A and B are shown apart, each in its own frame.
Chain A
Amino acid sequence: MTAPAKAPGARRPRHGTPLGRAVGRLLDDKWTGAAGLAVALLAPFVIATPYALSVMTSAAIFVMLASGLNIVVGFCGLLDLGYVAFYAVGAYTSGVLATRLDLPLWATVPAVVAVTALAGVVIGAPTLRLRSDYLAIVTLGFGEIIRITANNLEITGGPSGIYGIPGLTGSPVVFYYITVAVVALAVVGASRLGRSRLGRAWRFVREDEDAAEAMGVHTYRVKLAAYVAGAVWGGLAGVLFAAQVSAISPGSFTFLSSALVLMAVVLGGMGSSPGVVIGAVVVSLLPEVLRDFADHRFLLFGVLLIVVMLLRPQGLWPHRSREAGP
């Protein structure tokens, strides 16, 4: 492709080297998602030890968490540092209903959606009017409130949590496929939401809230929508988690987990669906691969967060806008 003659000051949009452009075109193709799904579907045929299956199932659930947080942080630019709270709300709601009322786990899903959406509104409604940094710390506090509450209430089983949650199926392989199907739907759903009219409003709010408001975007409502959507995604991931481990306790829902999900989103590229999926897979599999470094991995994560922000603030696989070139 020859560059058209332009005025000296005009710059062509930068997309890196020709090779990079070619790779980028390949990756941007809609077949990337299908390829990723195929890898996930074929993985059990390659290794199907119980350990590998459980690691892969956890990774899939983590992908779902990351794509939910991506709606909030990546699309809308609201930093949520207590995202795991919604995961906890989902897992606990489902666990409590399933064990107390003897419901099958899938029957608790409507209740989980309702409760997590409500939690999203409860925390979002008063705080989304505030500046982003206040929101960050309030969500952090909210995460702690949920964890401490779960630790102290009787219905949530206190520090020992809830056990004996019925699984969705008896077979880990079937459960893995169910998880992959749900997660794939969730990722596609998040990605389509991101490209919808609402998604464009989210990006607009992220880029310039004042301008968005001046152009007639109801920023408060739009932000709340992002928040509630993220909450529901997190809650559904919580149901999967409860089904996978069958015992949940407050120890699973610490600030550390919130930070890891954030790490996945930032590393992959905020606002980029394929990037976030890759980021989540990397963040969840890395500790398994680097077992020897287990003690230092959070130090590594912290340093990595800083380095990514300094060197590649858009993440490893940034979002490429389809809308308009410069």
Chain B
Amino acid sequence: MAQLIWNGLFVGSFYALVALGYSMVYGIMKLLNFAHGDLYMLGAFTGFAVLGAVGGVSPGMALPVLLGVMVVTMAVTGLSGVVLERVAYRPLRGAPRLSLLITAVGASFALEYGMRTAAGADPQVYPVRLGGTALEVLGARITVQQVALIVVAVALMIGLNLLVTRTREGRAMRAIALDPRTSALMGINVNAVISRTFFLGSALAGAAGVMAGAYYGKIDFLMGFMIGLKAFTAAVIGGIGNIPGTMLGGLLLGLLESFGTYWLGGEWRDVFAFGVLILFLTVRPTGLLGERVTERV
């Protein structure tokens, strides 16, 4: 039982980290960035490349090195997100939403198969694995590295929340989410703020990618697809566009999956997750913490 909860929280914190990017972009542009999961994949591969460049890492130094790599990766994926927005999404602002969605699908494909062309179709094995000693807490096996990863994830999420709620930049984001045109009239550089939003969201996805690579050990070019769907599900459960809601949704989805897997068996895990998504959209489309929007039928 405790083990199930712990596993759920652990996986959930990954989901939450990726979901935040979905949620921020959706909140500000009302666009589902299908390529977001692939930025997570890009993060995992960037981390892999940087680790390869660093050379051998002694097990004792694994965690500090990994954190350094994570910072580099976040910069890379963040910039990729900015480029993606500039090239594929910005020219279509004001175009029908369908065009934007289709462009996003195209971007997702381009990233996935571009990475396949660059790195090959075979899965790669991460040079650094976080295994290590396990602690018994309330009957659950917990490794120190898991705790470290969760701490990093939570720190990133808290940092983001502070940025959005406390800073000038965050206020600009919230203003654009409410009404882009009025924000522009009030002197906010909408394009610049959207670029920075993409940077933040993509950087978080990249961080999650490095963590997943180090934890699971294996990465491949399609790994972003499923996590993208899951992250979106998490964002919907919590309330898309709402940052605390998205974190809650991520953890909740992790827990639901953990228990669902236990009851139904691992092969039904993804079916269970999407079933929850459809159920949520039917019953409460704005999510747990999202504000109610009157939706015309």
Contact = CB atoms under 8 A, between A and B. Distances in A.
Interface of A: 73, 77, 79, 81, 123, 126-127, 129-134, 136-138, 140-142, 144-145, 148-149, 151-152, 210, 213, 220, 255, 259, 262, 266, 270, 295-296, 298-299, 301-306, 309-310, 313
A148 B270 contact: yes
Given A129-B295, A145-B270, A303-B106, 8 more contacts: A127-B282, A129-B297, A296-B117, A301-B109, A302-B111, A306-B87, A306-B103, A309-B106
Contact of A127 (B95, B114, B281): B281
Nearest to B107: A306
A262 to B, nearest CB: 7
A79 B101 CA distance: 8
Nearest to A131: B295
A175 B98 CA distance: 37
A262 B271 CA distance: 23
A262 B34 CA distance: 15
A149 B87 CA distance: 38
Contact of A141 (B31, B96, B117, B274): B274
Nearest to B274: A141
Given A79-B101, A302-B112, A295 B117 contact: yes
Interface stretch (B7-15, B156-164, B225-233): B225-233
B117 A142 contact: no
B102 interface: yes
B241 to A, nearest CB: 12
A81 B91 contact: no
A132 B110 contact: no
A120 to B, nearest CB: 14
Given A141-B274, A148-B267, A148-B270, A130 B32 contact: no
A262 B285 contact: no
Nearest to B226: A144
Contact of A152 (B30, B111, B268): B268
16 contacts: A126-B282, A138-B277, A138-B278, A144-B270, A145-B274, A148-B270, A152-B268, A213-B296, A295-B117, A296-B113, A299-B116, A302-B112, A304-B106, A309-B99, A309-B102, A313-B96
B108 interface: yes
Contact of A310 (B30, B92, B267, B268): B92
B275 interface: yes
A306 B110 contact: yes
A77 B96 CA distance: 10
A208 B221 CA distance: 38
B88 interface: yes
Contact of B285 (A130, A144, A298): A130
Main SS at interface, chain A: helix
Given A299-B117, A306-B110, A132 B97 contact: yes
B155 interface: no
Interface residues of B, number: 48
B105 interface: yes
Complex A-B, nearest 4 residue pairs according to Cβ-Cβ distance, in ascending order: A305-B106, A302-B109, A302-B110, A141-B274
Interface of B: 30-32, 87-88, 91-92, 95-103, 105-114, 116-117, 225-226, 229, 232-233, 236, 267-268, 270-271, 274-275, 277-278, 281-282, 285, 295-297
A302 B113 contact: yes
A149 B268 CA distance: 8
Nearest to A77: B98
A42 to B, nearest CB: 34
B113 A132 contact: no
Q: Which of A79, A129, A137, A262 has the most CB of B within 10 A?
A: A137
Q: Which of B31, B268, B281 has the most CB of A within 10 A?
A: B281
A313 B267 contact: no
A310 B110 CA distance: 15
Contact of B113 (A81, A255, A266, A299): A299
Contacts of B270: 144-145, 148
Nearest to A152: B267
Contacts of B87: 306
Contact of B88 (A137, A138, A306): A306
Nearest to B230: A141
B52 to A, nearest CB: 23
